[in-house]
Amino acid sequence: MSSLSTSGSRGYTVFGLSVAALVVVLDQLTKWWILDVVMQPYPRVVEVTPFFNLVLAWNTGVSFGTFGSSHAWMPYVLAAVAFAIVVALLLWLRQADRRYLALALGMVIGGAIGNVIDRFLYGAVADFLDFHIGGWHFWAFNVADSGISVGVALLVLDGLFAGREKS
């Protein structure tokens, strides 16, 4: 029986890593498209709908610009923190016993890696999705941020309801 649970757990790990890879690829492709196609020859606001724009904003901090700094070493500090979190999440992913959990962890891992790539390439994270209502704009974000946010929400839901599934 232990070999069955090991192969199932391995399957969830592969699934989670596949989700992470997909998030990284989508994130980097969309950032390339925004930086090299949409925002050329100069950054501007592209109105897509009455409530959604494409913009270019550079985030030197973490979520919603928290801990933003122009210090040259800050991207490396934030990348190191993200790397430590990714390692911890990878260890958790190896123990995942449900596809839902592997999906959530993969989304967070992929999002963190996508933003770390930006920190090394640009010294900041490229954000470009701008949702707004009237004059109020939500913080600009990207595909990696979406993966992190949705993944964390799924982890919270999993934590709230997983015990019910098992019992």
Q: Which of 27, 118, 145, 158 is catalytic?
A: 145
Q: Which of 27, 118, 127, 158 is catalytic?
A: 127
With respect to residue 29, please indicate whether it lies within any of the assigned structural domains: yes
The predicted pLDDT at position 64 comes to 46
Q: What φ, ψ does residue 5 adopt, rounded to 5°?
A: -70, -35
How many structural domains are present in the chain?
A: 1
Name the DSSP class of 135.
T
The reply to whether 145 belongs to the active site is yes
The predicted pLDDT at position 22 comes to 98
With respect to residue 56, please indicate whether it lies within any of the assigned structural domains: yes
For residue 39, what are the CA distances in angstroms to 80, 99, 101, 146, 148?
29, 38, 36, 21, 25
The reply to whether 36 belongs to the active site is no
The predicted pLDDT at position 5 comes to 45
Instruction: For the chain, 167 residues long, give each residue's pLDDT as a single digit of tens.
Output: 444 444 567 889 999 999 999 999 999 999 999 999 999 887 789 999 999 999 999 988 655 454 445 556 676 787 888 899 999 999 999 999 999 999 999 999 999 999 999 988 998 899 999 999 988 998 999 999 999 999 999 999 998 987 665 54
Task: Enter the pTM of the model.
Answer: 0.85
Tracing tokens 């790539």 back to the chain, one arrives at: 117
With respect to residue 1, please indicate whether it lies within any of the assigned structural domains: no
With respect to residue 104, please indicate whether it lies within any of the assigned structural domains: yes
The predicted pLDDT at position 96 comes to 94
pLDDT in tens, 68-91: 455 566 767 878 888 999 999 999
With respect to residue 136, please indicate whether it lies within any of the assigned structural domains: yes
Q: Name the residue range of residue 116's domain.
A: 6-63+70-163
With respect to residue 82, please indicate whether it lies within any of the assigned structural domains: yes
With respect to residue 50, please indicate whether it lies within any of the assigned structural domains: yes
* Residues forming a β-bridge with 57: 127
d(CA 151, CA 96): 14
